[in-house]
Structure 1
Amino acid sequence: MTENTKIDFIYLSEPDMIKAGVTDMPSCVDTMEEMFGLLYTGDYRMAGPNNDSHGAMITFPDESAFPTMPKPTADRRLMAMPAYLGGNFQTSGVKWYGSNIANREKGLPRSILMMILNDIDTGAPLAYMSANLLSAYRTGAIPGVGARYLARKDSKVIGLLGPGVMGKTTVAAFITACPKVDTIKVKGRGQKNLDSFIDWVKETFPQVTTIEIVDSVEAVVRDSDLVSYCNSGEVGDPTTYPIVKREWVKPGAFLAMPASCSLDDGMEQKDVRKVLDNTGLYEAWYEEVPKPAHCVIPLVGVRCMDMIAEGKLTHDDIEDLGKIVSGDSPARENEEEIIILSVGGMPVEDVAWATVVYRNAIEKGIGVKLNLWDVPVLR
């Protein structure tokens, strides 16, 4: 029997990814919902000893003997995020994450991302793909999955802090889950981002009849049915993170937080339901970083881990989105409860959405076929 050792894979540029459906938010929300079911049953693997690690990151010292070594400037990240996902996906992959907030001064995105998708049997590459849109849409889709189960069905008003890429995809996912949305209140740093956001909303969601620019975080939250903080900024001092105060929050509101956020005493109380996208992810983070962990990782879920250590919460007070999606834990139980979801971002999400987009590309003949080898020189 003749061995077939030839390996080809496809390269998908950002335009190719768009043609293959990477910006199809309803499909992305469906895919993330399916992924959460696998997460809950355990048919996945990520890095680290508990298989739940966010990834492996290169860090840089404040002072180095080497003048060319990068400084640890704001949002300076070089990170590998590997995962395997079972079920109907049966793929593995890794997202390589390069980020520096100073990129904006060069007209570049804060993060520049690439994804490699692999065959789980041989480890051979299936695709090498541009991943900025992939990552943005899978991140935004998680609040959409949360809203399907945890938001009021009559939600009409979105309050958004941060009208950038993450803000746009979160709004798209909210509207996918709550199609009655007709109003968005938004706070941003600069007029350019606000103008871009407003133009995008008008073009993409004509059912949104009111877009209000507000000048405070309080105004973002008050009277909003759906709230999300999608801001970026310095990490280290939780008193500088944008806060959510209980007195601002409308009864029945659903808050999805994929960025830095702090909670006041009222929001930290146990009658506010606290849901994590994957409890194991936050437990892995908590083991990996100095304490209090919220000083290092500014997410609500990490604050919950600190609160457990402080005796303010127990593990029973924390809910898992996968368990809710799978039906083993209740979704929204009444019209008055306040629910907050922490969105941490996981490489299994990248693998899930990359697999769907890759399969679309193969079916439609999109991408550039590249050859790794016909016969390997060393084997």
Structure 2
Amino acid sequence: MSAVTMIPTADTVPTTAPTGTTIDMLYLDEPQMIAAGVKDMESCMEVMEEVLVLVAEGDYRMAGNSANSHGAQISFPATSPFPTMPVDASDRRFMAMAAYLGGRFDTAGVKWYGSNVDNRDKGLPRSIHLIVLNDKETGAPFAIMSGNLESAYRTAAVPGAAAKKLAPVDAARLGIIGPGAMNKSALHAMTLARPSLTDIVIHGRRRSTSESFADYVRAHYPQFTTIEISDTVEGAVSDCDIVSEAVTGLVGSENYPYIDGDWIKPGAFLSLPANLRMDKDYTLSGRARLLVDAKKIYEAWAEEYPAPSHETAFGMIGLYWQDLIDDGALDESRVVNIGDVFSGKAPGREFDDQPILFSVGGMGVEDVAWGKTVYENAVQAGLGTALNLWKTPDLA
């Protein structure tokens, strides 16, 4: 059970709208987030499907002039004359992902995190997340919460929801490319989406990380009766019904893992939330269905970063598709919002056995939705610590 510093009562639980001038907040640490259901992947997948339909319909706002920016990022130079300033390194940045989401969520919020791949040498996650939720009318914060599990689960729940609808119904073999934390939560989502999975093949840049992931599978997922480690990406793609690729690192296609379209099994579902390189000819051929979490976030990235954005900004395959659209090589109608598939406005496949390539960029609206859901669970369960911002503001 979570260690609760103070159990909120009816008088102390913050509401989304402050009464009078008093502003109270609910703080949830990681154990309290767990007790409030942040790791309930099945529920998270249902929430993410709802979110993505709202996004496809336009009932949301995010940062930037287009209201579709992934967030505001602080990055660092390769060298600096200032001795205390950090310098550029793999995954080193600070990011604020602000969003408002409508529908029943009707809440604004922000996920703020710092990231440095060297954290792993200190026993820390690569990124350390904090989430703040705010009342839409006054702007008053009503929740502050630990964000790492929230972020990991909502990230995996998005392709999990898509796989539940679009992966082969009798999927048996799962390919894992990038055996890290992101694919641990993805593994949870995919086994819920397709309980029929029995075989798993794992590819990592280091044999040791693949072996560690295999040990994790043995300990937590006994339904996998066959566990293989592949020295190649091809081995984790060929003959797999579902593939989850989650490799982060340096920008530039020479640093991205490569998947050849000829390796992809007919009808396979590929979850692609990270850096990836694929053939232009395969992309343009129509052999695979090109789905994204939200087309407009890739358009916003392409506006914010010089072309080719896939080379200079971020390695998600959806940004490569946007580069091709901007070049006039790919018809923009070929890229489809998953929310339109969920709502029935667009087909999942154009023909039987068409592979699905699903690009996942990640959006602050997802953090708002899952954060709000977990907050409501916490209030109902009496979890968290009530914090007061002020009784009366000094500078009203």
TM (norm. structure 2) is 0.91
Q: How many residues align?
A: 376
**Which residue identity does 1:280 align to in structure 2?**
K
Q: Which amino acid aligns with 2:256?
A: Y
Question: Partners in 1 of 2:59 and 2:25 — Cα distance?
Answer: 26
2:324 maps to 1:312:
no
1:80 paired to 2:96:
yes
Which residue of the partner structure matches residue 31 of structure 1?
47
- Tell me which residue corresponds to 1:338: 355
- Per the alignment, residue 276 of structure 2 pairs with 261
Residue of structure 2 equivalent to 1:132: 148
CA drift of 1:255 comes to 0.6
Find the residue that maps to 2:111 and give its secondary structure.
strand
List aligned pairs for 1:158-197, cutoff 5 A.
158-190=174-206, 193-197=209-213
What is the CA–CA distance in structure 2 between the aligned matches of 1:329 and 1:152, rounded to whole Å? 18
2:365 alignment partner in structure 1: 348
Q: Give the counterpart letter for 1:183 in structure 2.
A: D
Query: Which residue of the partner structure matches residue 375 of structure 1?
Result: 392
Q: How many Å apart are 1:30 and its aligned residue? A: 0.5
- TM-score for both structures, normalised by structure 1: 0.95
By how many angstroms is 1:352 displaced?
Answer: 0.6
SS at match of 2:165: helix
Q: CA deviation at 1:338?
A: 1.2
Shift in alpha-carbon separation, 1:332–1:152, aligned structure 2, 3 A: farther
Give how far 1:196 is off: 4.2
| Corresponding residue of 1:357 | 374
1:200 maps onto 2:200 in alignment: no
The equivalent residue for 2:344 is 327
Deviations along 1:205-248, one digit per CA (max 9) or x if unpaired, are 32222221111101000100001111222112x13311110121
Deviation at 1:6, TM superposition (A): 1.6
Deviation at 1:83, TM superposition (A): 0.3
Q: Provide the C-alpha distance between the structure 1 equivalents of 2:265 and 2:359, rounded to a whole number of angstroms.
A: 18
Return the offset for 1:191: 5.3
**How far apart are the structure 2 equivalents of 1:247 and 1:373?**
61
Aligned position for 1:233: 249
Q: Is the Cα contact below 8 Å between 2:202 and 2:214 reproduced in 1?
A: no
Alignment-mate amino acid for residue 210 of structure 2: L
Please list the CA deviations of residues 22-65 of structure 1 after superposition, one character each: whole Å capped at 9, or x if unmatched: 11110110010010111111111111112111000012222323
- Distance in 2, Cα, partners of 1:34 & 1:265: 32
- Name the residue aligned to 2:24: 8
Percent identical = 49
Sort the Cα spacing of 1:285 and 1:185 in 2 relative to 1 into closer, same or farther, 3 A: same
Give deviations 1:50-96, integer Å, cap 9, x for gaps: 21110000122223231211101111110100001111111110000
Contact 1:103/1:110 (<8 A) preserved: yes
Query: Is residue 35 of structure 2 the alignment partner of residue 19 of structure 1?
Result: yes
Q: Which amino acid aligns with 1:243?
A: Y
